[in-house]
Amino acid sequence: MQRNHPPPLIPIMQNPSDLADRVDHARSLLSQMRLFSEPAPKATRQVLERLKSKGPIKKTSSKTLSHPDAKASPDASSPSQKEATQSQGDSFSTASLSKEERKARLAALREEVLVCTKCPHLVASRTNVVFGEGNPDADLMFIGEAPGADEDAQGKPFVGRAGQLLTKIIEAMGLRRDEIYIANILKCRPDMPDGKSGNRKPRPEEMATCIPWLKQQIALIQPKALVALGATAAEGLLGGGPLVMRDMRSRWHAFEQIPVMVTYHPAYLLRNQSLSEKRKVWEDMLLVMEHLRIPISKKQRSFFLSK
């Protein structure tokens, strides 16, 4: 008796060498099943509609634009999470890409991150995913810990009072904000308990879940230096912790062979407006300027020194 078999979920390829395409296709199906089986968060509903109207998200290769979802990622609470996510970033190679290709891939990566649902508790509370912004070809990247209320509302990093101070620091370095790139370890605002306002620090497991996105941003932008703003960002980027700022700042660390300067978060300077604390941050920035060979005037060298 002849049976009518249902059509295969994964199309049969004619050539065995199409295995990679089949794997990509299966991943895409799984990803779409996951996206549409969960309630769309309010912040991403518009983006989902936009993506659906454009058709499937095109991936340039199976290595370039994949989050832990694309691999059999352990749960965020698993102790092996960090190792799993780190190994992902390690396999991401962009060395041979042109400037235009990197820019296009960064834009494609942004589309993926905007619909990320890896942390259901943050998806439920966020207004916007804050991907990051700036020059895709920047030599310098500033990395914060997570979006706050202002950033969550606007979908942009460092736009509140601390962000305005960061802009002043960047301009004091002789740079424009649109010349550098600004991003956070966590792309969604940490949720707050009911009835509580303000911002909370991201938890280590939240940062470990999200950092593969940042790794891909860094791999695409290929900056010559990173600045981690605050101890929490440094912990997310460099691992370990709790880190003590006075032990970390004023010297170079490394993130996947990229020099990292750790300095105080601008919010700290808003709380501690003494000349000496401002000078500490400025001395860290002078080291960054020297590393990037940015000309430093005599006047700049003396900023925030007591008369």
**116: contact with ligand SF4 by CB under 6 A:** yes
Q: Which is nearer to ligand SF4, 183 or 234 (CB)?
A: 183
By CB under 6 A, is residue 129 in contact with ligand SF4? Answer: yes
**Residue 113 in contact with ligand SF4, rule: CB under 6 A:** yes
Element (H, E) at 210: helix 204-221
Q: Per DSSP, which regions of the chain are E strands?
A: 133-134, 140-144, 181-184, 225-229, 252-255, 258-263
Size of the residue set binding ligand SF4 (CB under 6 A): 14
The residue among 118 and 265 lying less far from ligand SF4, judged by its C-beta, is: 118
Q: With respect to ligand SF4, which residue has the nearer C-beta, 119 or 225?
A: 119
Cβ(191)–Cβ(122) below 8 Å: yes
Query: Minimum Å distance from CB 74 to ligand SF4?
Result: 14
* CA distance linking residue 55 with residue 52, whole number of Å: 5
Among 143, 165, 186, 248, binds ligand SF4 (CB under 6 A): 186
Pairing status of strand 133-134 against strand 181-184:
antiparallel
Contact pick of 210, 237, 243, 287 for ligand SF4 (by CB under 6 A): 210
Cα radius of gyration rounded to whole Å, the chain = 21
- Characterise 158 by phi-psi region: left (phi > 0), alpha (psi -120 to 50), beta (else): left
- Nearest approach, Cβ of residue 186 and ligand SF4 (Å): 5
Query: Using the rule CB under 6 A, is 141 a contact of ligand SF4?
Result: no
- Asked whether position 218 contacts ligand SF4 by CB under 6 A, the answer is no
Stretch that binds ligand SF4, among 104-112, 209-217, 251-259, 274-282 (CB under 6 A): 209-217
From 47-55, 87-95, 207-215, 255-263, span contacting ligand SF4 (CB under 6 A): 207-215
- Closest Cα partner for 221 from 112, 118, 142, 285? 142
Task: Name the residue with tokens 């942004």.
Answer: 110
**Residue number, 207 or 286, with CB nearest to ligand SF4:** 207
Residue 293: CB minimum distance to ligand SF4, A? 34
Q: Is 47 in the site for ligand SF4 (CB under 6 A)?
A: no
Q: Does 123 bind ligand SF4 (CB under 6 A)?
A: yes
Residue 112: C-alpha distances to residues 56, 203, 244 (Å)? 11, 23, 34
Strands 140-144 and 133-134: unpaired
Told to check if 138 binds ligand SF4 by CB under 6 A, we report no
